[in-house]
Amino acid sequence: MIPLSWYLIFAAALFSLGLYGVLARRNAVALLMGVELMLNAVIINLIAFWRYIGFAGMSGQAFAVIVFAVSAAEVAVGLALVISIYRRRNTVVAEDIDMLKF
């Protein structure tokens, strides 16, 4: 029998790895990969709390569906922005993208 704490520790570790990726990587596409890892950790937390504490209702799963949709929208717009910047500036390095108007 797996206690709730295992899922929470696993999700916290996954979130921290994603956070490291967001803060440390230079490539903008790699930053978005880190964001995906963090969102997955959040969804694990939502579903684990639903299964262990709120399993009488469906609030946790409904919330997780919304997070799924938001993360799909986020990655679509994010990658479109990266490709647009690449076409105009010929770079995908996050620290070189430091102007609001090209």
The residues in 76-95 that bind other proteins, with binding defined as CB under 8 A, are 76-77, 79-84, 86-87, 90-95
- Using CB under 8 A, which residues numbered 6 to 25 contact other proteins? 6-10, 12-21, 23-25
Rounded alpha-carbon distances, angstroms, from residue 75 to 3, 43, 102:
33, 16, 23
- Using CB under 8 A, which residues numbered 19 to 58 contact other proteins? 19-21, 23-27, 29-30, 32-34, 36-37, 40, 43-44, 47-48, 50-53, 55, 57-58
* 98 near other proteins, judged by CB under 8 A: no
Q: How far apart are CA 96 and CA 53, in angstroms?
A: 46
| CB of 47 closer than 8 Å to CB of 60 | yes
Q: How far apart are CA 45 and CA 48, in angstroms?
A: 5
In whole angstroms, the minimum distance from the beta carbon of 99 to other proteins comes to 17
Q: Which helix (H) or strand (E) holds 31?
A: helix 28-52
In whole angstroms, the minimum distance from the beta carbon of 10 to other proteins comes to 5
Which residue's CB is nearer to other proteins, number 84 or number 100? 84
